[in-house]
Amino acid sequence: MLIALTFGFVFGIRSRPAIQKTGILFARIHLLICSMIQQFLRALFCTASLFICTAKAANGFDVSRIEPSHWWIGMKNPRLQILFYGKDAGNCRISLKTGQTGVKILASAKTTNPDYLFAEIEIGKDTKPGTCTFLLENGKEKKEIAYLLKARTEMAGGAGGYNASDVLYLIMPDRFANGNPSNDSPSGYLEKCDRNKPTGRHGGDLQGIENNLDYLKNLGISTLWLNPILENNQPEFSYHGYAITDYYKVDGRFGNLEEYKRLIRKCHEKGLKMVQDMVANHIGTEHYWSKSLPDTGWIHFAGQPYTVCNFRIETISDPNASSADRMRMTDGWFDRHMADLNQKHPLLARYLIQNTLWWIAETGIDGIRMDTWPYNDKEFMSRWCREVLEEFPRFSIVGEIWVEQPSLNSYFIEGSKNQDGHQPALPSCTDFPLYFALTKGLQEKGNWDSGLIRMYQTLSQDFLFKDASRNLIFASNHDLSRFITTQGGDFRKHKQAMAMILTLRGVPQLYYGDEFALEGDGSAHANVRLDFKGGWAGDQENYFEPEKLKGRADTAFRFLRNLLQWRKTSKAAGFGNFTHYIPEDNIYVYFRKKENELVMVAVNGNSSAKSLNLSRFSELKDFPLTAREIASQKNISLPAGSLDLEAQGISVLEFRR
C-alpha cells in the first residue's frame, strides 16, 4: 500500500507539465492510466504481501528456549510463568493437549518482540508428577512441547539456611583449583583460558572445589559461598561471574549442572552448606536478551547511549534526593558490559523470582548472597524475598550493601520502620560499616574519636536492626584489599581482625587466603584474586597441604584453624548475648554469654603491651577466675584481677561454670 501510494504521488508530480500542454482530455486519460497503474501496483503489493506471509508460515516457528525448563508440583504458589523463545514463537497460540488433569493455562502474553511467548499456568493440587504437553500452533504449524512437573519430594535436599554458628568461606571459583583441565577452554565460549592474564580465565572449576572439601572441613569453616557460577559468556572479564549471560546454566568452564549438584550433595554429606551468589540487577551484554530484547522496557536505557549508575546508595533512602539522582542510581548501568534490568516489568519480575526458586529446588543450596542489593528496584526485592521465603522458610538471604553507615544498611532490612513507607524484607546484609570500623580502628592511634572507639560506636547502632546477629561480618572479600595490606602488613593486626570476626556478633565470613594472611592491594582486583597455590598441576607450592606450610603462612593457618575449631564447640561465640565496654586506653573489651559459657575478648589497639584491670567487668563475677586462653590453648588464672595484653594483641578467653 505504502509503495503503491508513493509511486502514484511521484507519477502525479511528473505529469503536471503534461496537463498544461495537452488539455483536460489528455489529463483525464493520464489520470485514468495513473489510477490503473496505482491499482496494479496495489494488487501487486498485496499479492507480494500474501506471498511473504505464506513464506513466513511455511517456515513455521521455532522454540529454542523454554524457561524454566521444568517445575515442581506442590509449591505454595501454584502459578508458573513459562517463557518460550524462538523465531515467531510469539505468534503462536498455546493450549494444553487434552487429557491433562490439574494443569490449566490461565493466560498467555505476547510482547513487542514476536519471538517471545509467555504463558501463565496453574498447577492444581490434584496434578500428578510427570510430563504435561503443551501445544503451540500458528495456523500453519503445530509443535508439541513436553514439560516436566516433578514432585516436591524430588527437590534436592538442603535449603536449610545458615546462622551465627556457621562460618562462610568465600571462594572465587576460577581462582581456587583446576580440578578438570579439559573444561578450561570449551568451544562456544568467547574467552579462552589464559593463566598469564591477571584478569583472564585461569581454569578453576567446581571439580577443583569438590577435590578440596576435606581441606575446608579441616580448616573449620562450615559454609561455602562461591562467586557466581552461572554462565558468563563475555569476551573479557568473565572470570568473576557477575555478568551473567544465562540464568539457567552453569558456566561450562566451571562444569555443568550435574557437577554443581554433586558438589552441593558432597558438601551436605560432610556437614558443609552452600551459598549461591546471584545477580538480579544486571545481565552480561552477551545475554540473549541483549540481542533480542524480550519487550520494550526490559532493560534500562536499551539502545540509548551508555548511562552509568551514580553508585550513590544513599539516594534510595534520602528523603531529600532528587528523583533524577535516584533514577540514575537504580536504572543506570553498573558497567559497560552489565545491562541494567527493569524489575518493574511484571514478566521480568516473575522470571527472576522463579529463577531463584528453581535453583533452590533443583540444587538444594542453603542460602543466597544477592549482589548489588540497593541497585535493584527496592519494591521488587521485597517481593523477591517474601516469595522465596514463603516457599523455603528456613532459607538464608544476605544482600550486598556497600555503605559506611549502619542506617543505610538498616533501611533495606526486614523490620525497619522507614519514614517513607518502604517495607523491606531482606533478612540480613553485608556489614560494611563494621568492616570500615575494623579497618580504620586498627589503622589509627586511639583517641576520643579514633581507634577502637569506632568499633564501639558502630556496634552501638545495632538498635537499627531487628537482629544484627544475622549481619555478615568480614575483614576482606573479593572486592577489598587483603586485610593485612590495609594494616601495612602488620601480622598482629591480621590476627586481631580474624579473632574479632570469629567472636563478634554476626555471621563470620572469610575470604580464601585469609587463612595464610595473604597480602594484596585491592585497588587492582586481580591482586586479591590470585590463584590458590597448589590448585593447579605443576604449582611450586601446595597450600592445600597445610602441614607443609612455612613461616607466616603456617602461623596464620594454625591461628585461624585453632579459632575455627574452637568456635564449633562454643555456643557463646555464635549465639551468646553480646555486651561491650567503652574502650579505655584504646583497649576494646566485649563479652559473649550463653548459659554456662562466657567468652571474653580484649583487643589492645596500642603498639605497647598493657595490663588490663578487670574490675570493671561485672560479667566475670559469676564465673571462676580460671579461663581457657584460645590462642595458646592453655588455662590461665586471673586471681590478681588483671590481664596482660601484648602490644597489638588480642586475648580470647573462655570461661565455663
Q: Of the candidates 501, 632, 556, which has an alpha carbon nearest to the alpha carbon of residue 169?
A: 501
Which residues are registered as beta bridge partners of 650?
603
Out of 174, 259, 340, 515, which residue is the one contacting Ca ion (CB under 5 A)?
Answer: 340
**Region near Ca ion per CB under 5 A, out of 32-40, 102-110, 172-180, 393-401:** 172-180
**Region near Ca ion per CB under 5 A, out of 35-43, 82-90, 274-282, 567-575:** 274-282
**Region near Ca ion per CB under 5 A, out of 150-158, 183-191, 288-296, 415-423:** 183-191
Q: Please, what is the minimum distance in Å from the beta carbon of residue 199 to Ca ion?
A: 17
Contact between 476 and Ca ion by CB under 5 A: the answer reads no
Out of 81, 108, 127, 183, which residue is the one contacting Ca ion (CB under 5 A)?
Answer: 183
DSSP, res 404: S
Contact between 648 and Ca ion by CB under 5 A: the answer reads no
Contact between 116 and Ca ion by CB under 5 A: the answer reads no
CA angle 86, 89, 91 (to 5 degrees): 150
Q: Please, what is the minimum distance in Å from the beta carbon of residue 334 to Ca ion?
A: 7
- How far, CA to CA in Å, does 475 sit from each of 20, 151, 222, 431, 485? 91, 42, 17, 10, 11
Residue 544: partners with Cβ closer than 8 Å, 6 or more residues away: 177, 212, 215, 532, 534, 535
The cell numbers describing 135, all together, are 501445544
Contacts to Ca ion from residues 292-311, by CB under 5 A: none
The cell numbers describing 479, all together, are 572486592
Contact between 431 and Ca ion by CB under 5 A: the answer reads no
- How far, CA to CA in Å, does 136 sit from each of 28, 59, 148, 552? 54, 15, 16, 65
**x/- letters, 593..632, toward Ca ion (CB under 5 A):** ----------------------------------------
**Catalytic site residue 400?**
yes
Contact between 184 and Ca ion by CB under 5 A: the answer reads yes
Q: Please, what is the minimum distance in Å from the beta carbon of residue 89 to Ca ion?
A: 28
Please, what sign has the CA dihedral across residues 207, 210, 214, 220?
A: positive
Contact between 342 and Ca ion by CB under 5 A: the answer reads no
Q: How far apart are CA 80 and CA 97, in angstroms?
A: 18
Contact between 174 and Ca ion by CB under 5 A: the answer reads no
Contacts to Ca ion from residues 365-404, by CB under 5 A: 375
**184, 371, 391, 597: which is the annotated catalytic residue?**
371
The cell numbers describing 52, all together, are 511473504
Q: Please, what is the minimum distance in Å from the beta carbon of residue 330 to Ca ion?
A: 5
**377, 400, 514, 619: which is the annotated catalytic residue?**
400
**Region near Ca ion per CB under 5 A, out of 198-206, 345-353, 489-497, 629-637:** 198-206
Q: How far apart are CA 567 and CA 625, in angstroms?
A: 21
Contact between 203 and Ca ion by CB under 5 A: the answer reads yes
Q: How far apart are CA 345 and CA 341, in angstroms?
A: 9
Q: Please, what is the minimum distance in Å from the beta carbon of residue 597 to Ca ion?
A: 44
> Is residue 343 classed as helix, strand or coil in its secondary structure?
coil
Contact between 178 and Ca ion by CB under 5 A: the answer reads yes
**Region near Ca ion per CB under 5 A, out of 43-51, 58-66, 215-223, 279-287:** 279-287
282 vs 592 by CB, closer to Ca ion: 282
Q: How far is CA 468 from the centre of its chain?
A: 21
Contact between 180 and Ca ion by CB under 5 A: the answer reads yes
Burial code (b: 16+ CB inside 10 Å, e: under 16) for 254-289 equals: bbeeebbbbbbbebbeeebbbbbbbbbbbbbbbbbb
Contact between 205 and Ca ion by CB under 5 A: the answer reads yes
32: exposed, middle or buried (C-beta count within 10 Å: 0-12, 13-18, 19+)?
exposed
Q: How far apart are CA 184 and CA 283, in angstroms?
A: 23
**x/- letters, 537..566, toward Ca ion (CB under 5 A):** ------------------------------
**Region near Ca ion per CB under 5 A, out of 173-181, 242-250, 503-511, 518-526:** 173-181
375 vs 655 by CB, closer to Ca ion: 375
Phi, psi of 654 (to 5 degrees): -115, 125
205 vs 619 by CB, closer to Ca ion: 205
Q: Of the candidates 53, 61, 50, which has an alpha carbon nearest to the alpha carbon of residue 142?
A: 61
**Catalytic site residue 231?**
no
Enclosing H/E stretch for 436 = helix 432-443
Q: Please, what is the minimum distance in Å from the beta carbon of residue 290 to Ca ion?
A: 15
Out of 81, 100, 281, 487, which residue is the one contacting Ca ion (CB under 5 A)?
Answer: 281
183 vs 356 by CB, closer to Ca ion: 183
> How many chain residues bind Ca ion (CB under 5 A)?
10
Active site residues: 371, 400
Binding site for Ca ion (CB under 5 A): 178, 180, 183-184, 203, 205, 281, 330, 340, 375
